[in-house]
Structure 1
Amino acid sequence: MTTATDILTADTYDNPFALSHLDALESEAVHIFREVAGEFERPVILFSGGKDSIVMLHLALKAFWPAPVPFSLLHVDTGHNFPEVLAYRDRTVAEHGLRLHVASVQDFIDRGRLRERPDGLRNPLQTVPLLDGIESNKFDAVFGGGRRDEEKARAKERVFSLRDEFGAWDPRRQRPELWSLYNGRHSPGEHVRVFPLSNWTELDVWQYIEREGIELPEIYYAHPRDVFKRDGMWLTAGEWGGPKEGETVERRLVRYRTVGDMSCTGAVDSDAATVADVVTEVAASRLTERGATRADDKVSEAAMEDRKREGYF
């Protein structure tokens, strides 16, 4: 007697035309990029130089090859970014002849539109520069690298996420996306956030990086670094306000699973020096990357959702 499992196994392993799970994810993302190109007037890709935005740009390059990517890039620079990541960002923009818009948190602080937080974190301050950059450039679709496995608030997000005229997210206005049909309709002043990596996991991202041979900033791999411990995380010393009295700097072999800025992103102890090593390490991990290494998500249980309602990524 043939079971459903037998049929699934046969379809997956005996059909020479069946897509691998990475091919299926890639195909879905390429379709999303092309759908947005045909449906919106001024899309933009949020690009930080982190691994998810790098994979997202790689997919966009594939989607429109041999033509150039028909979107510019937008980076919200906190002023506390890792130098290695900024260097990678600038190399990538130059290599592919892309246009980069930079919204600077420091500029908004200097102009009095933002204040420094008592805890020194600047990631939560990105919302105002982001919304200002979207409004001033009249972007109507904004690609983000968010994935549903990262954090419970992001698990509520659709691929096409409508934002109101204030950039705010309302989970009650999420639209159904049956049969991969995406509704980009929006009123003047509103825009849509688009997440091509929604159905990817951290492991999928790393397996795809390995398969495609995608270059990443070196801080994603094990390297010796001077760090100090705060709230259970290894942080890099810098002008942003660390270490404080009683926090001892020590040299450790670490790498970064996710990259925000130096004030909120913790390193993890690791000897994973190659992509294959990282794939093995991630496959064995039982903690999400943000749960393990992002101080800005530990402010409260609803920290991410609160920021998304205000207009965050």
Structure 2
Amino acid sequence: MTTVASSVSEGSEETDSPYALSHLDALESEAVHIFREVAGEFERPVILFSGGKDSIVMLHLALKAFAPAAIPFSLLHVDTGHNFPEVLDYRDRAVEKHGLRLHVASVQEYIDAGKLRERPDGTRNPLQTVPLTEKIQLEKFDAVFGGGRRDEEKARAKERVFSLRDEFSQWDPRRQRPELWQLYNGKHAPGEHVRVFPLSNWTELDVWQYIARENIELPQIYYAHERPVFKRSGMWLTAGEWGGPKDDETVETRQVRYRTVGDMSCTGAVDSDATTIDKVIAEIAVSRLTERGATRADDKMSEAAMEDRKREGYF
């Protein structure tokens, strides 16, 4: 468990007017407004929560939006069966701490039932779509919060804050609605739902500066630590039951950290000595690669891999 010290990049909180909001305050205010709008417009919203940093920040913002009352949403996690143990442990502790209800859509259960087939490469991220969309339909969720940000990947940069999905949970970029003056249109037909992205306008650096300012606890996996890893397709992967390493892949112990977390089979670590949040912020500030571009193999399957999955119902 890691407690981080409050820290932001020099000058990031400076304003020209004593009445102006700082950059982080403006982002926080926008996100809180979005949570409250959804609470007012929809009947059964749910927050996608994996125990990753973006979903942790999203939960923190939701708690702020409705304090001192409890948040009026449950949580939903799509469990691939290849998740990092540190992240699942954090997820369960957060649910218990805040007295929340957690829905789990299990990829492994779908494989065991013959509804999904294991991929030859062992990667399960592309298999999440069916359990996710069927869980949304089964529970009749009409708004689903996701932690996607526009700076992560070009397909996510196309998304609006409110992203309409049809009765098959599919995304059509042509059906996106204008969002002038932070006015969000949640109208949808029976069977349709809306994906909601409160962190759309945040960057990876914004997220980390906010984590520092709010003293938000994260899984230790986000900070530099020694871990047995092996290299595949230019990324350091963690060995596991998902199918790695192969006979020609050598495991070695390195000091690494994770910029993003997901399925162990496609989420790579980066070499790092950033053991504190100040060092993480400094490291990100000079990075020229987005976190997904640097560490997510599933986004490299094709030029439009993410957009294809989003059209099918993925986040």
Please say whether Structure 1 and Structure 2 have the same fold, judged by a TM-score greater than 0.5. Answer: yes
Q: Does 1:309 pair with 2:300? A: no
- In structure 2, C-alpha distance between the alignment counterparts of 1:235 and 1:159, rounded to whole Å: 32
- In structure 2, C-alpha distance between the alignment counterparts of 1:120 and 1:310, rounded to whole Å: 20
Match of residue 3 from structure 2 = none
Letter in 2 for 1:174: Q
Query: Runs of 5+ in structure 2 lacking a partner?
Result: 1-13
- TM score, norm. by length of structure 2: 0.95
Match of residue 115 from structure 1 = 117
Letter in 1 for 2:249: E
Match of residue 271 from structure 1 = 273
Letter in 2 for 1:264: C
Deviation, 1:171, is: 0.3
Q: How does 1:65-84 map to 2 (within 5 A)?
A: 65-84=67-86
- In structure 1, C-alpha distance between the alignment counterparts of 2:263 and 2:311, rounded to whole Å: 22
Give me the identity figure in percent: 85
Q: 2:163 aligns with which of 161, 164, 173?
A: 161
Match of residue 193 from structure 2 = 191
Q: How does 1:243-282 map to 2 (within 5 A)?
A: 243-282=245-284
- In structure 1, C-alpha distance between the alignment counterparts of 2:307 and 2:17, rounded to whole Å: 42
- In structure 1, C-alpha distance between the alignment counterparts of 2:17 and 2:241, rounded to whole Å: 56
For the 8 Å contact 2:236–2:268, the answer to whether it is kept is yes
Q: Secondary structure at the match of 1:243?
A: coil
- In structure 1, C-alpha distance between the alignment counterparts of 2:42 and 2:266, rounded to whole Å: 34
Match of residue 21 from structure 1 = 23
Q: How does 1:209-220 map to 2 (within 5 A)?
A: 209-220=211-222
Q: 2:102 aligns with which of 89, 100, 107?
A: 100
- In structure 1, C-alpha distance between the alignment counterparts of 2:313 and 2:48, rounded to whole Å: 14
Deviation, 1:118, is: 1.3
Q: Secondary structure at the match of 2:154?
A: coil
Q: Secondary structure at the match of 2:248?
A: coil
- What is the root-mean-square deviation in Å for CA atoms of aligned residues? 0.6
- In structure 2, C-alpha distance between the alignment counterparts of 1:159 and 1:19, rounded to whole Å: 21
Q: Does 1:91 pair with 2:55? A: no
Q: Secondary structure at the match of 2:105?
A: strand
Q: Secondary structure at the match of 2:34?
A: helix
Q: Secondary structure at the match of 1:153?
A: helix
- In structure 1, C-alpha distance between the alignment counterparts of 2:301 and 2:222, rounded to whole Å: 25
Q: Secondary structure at the match of 2:311?
A: helix
Q: What does the per-residue CA deviation read over 1:180-210, in whole Å, with 9 as the maximum and x for residues that have no partner?
A: 1000000000000000000000000000000
Deviation, 1:15, is: 1.1
- In structure 1, C-alpha distance between the alignment counterparts of 2:300 and 2:118, rounded to whole Å: 18
Q: 1:284 aligns with which of 263, 286, 297?
A: 286
List structure 1 runs of 4+ shifted beyond 3 angstroms.
none
- In structure 2, C-alpha distance between the alignment counterparts of 1:91 and 1:274, rounded to whole Å: 22
Letter in 1 for 2:140: K
Q: 1:61 aligns with which of 60, 63, 79?
A: 63
Match of residue 6 from structure 1 = none
- In structure 2, C-alpha distance between the alignment counterparts of 1:58 and 1:45, rounded to whole Å: 12
Deviation, 1:119, is: 1.4
Match of residue 8 from structure 2 = none
Higher RCO, 1 vs 2 (CA within 8 Å, ≥6 residues apart)? 2
Q: Does 1:240 pair with 2:242? A: yes
Letter in 2 for 1:266: G
- In structure 1, C-alpha distance between the alignment counterparts of 2:16 and 2:211, rounded to whole Å: 26
Q: Secondary structure at the match of 1:26?
A: helix
- In structure 2, C-alpha distance between the alignment counterparts of 1:262 and 1:25, rounded to whole Å: 31
- TM score, norm. by length of structure 1: 0.96
- In structure 1, C-alpha distance between the alignment counterparts of 2:272 and 2:256, rounded to whole Å: 5
- In structure 2, C-alpha distance between the alignment counterparts of 1:98 and 1:276, rounded to whole Å: 31
Q: Secondary structure at the match of 1:226?
A: strand
Query: Runs of 5+ in structure 1 lacking a partner?
Result: 1-11
Deviation, 1:261, is: 1.4
Letter in 2 for 1:259: V
Match of residue 7 from structure 1 = none
- In structure 2, C-alpha distance between the alignment counterparts of 1:122 and 1:48, rounded to whole Å: 15
Deviation, 1:13, is: 3.3
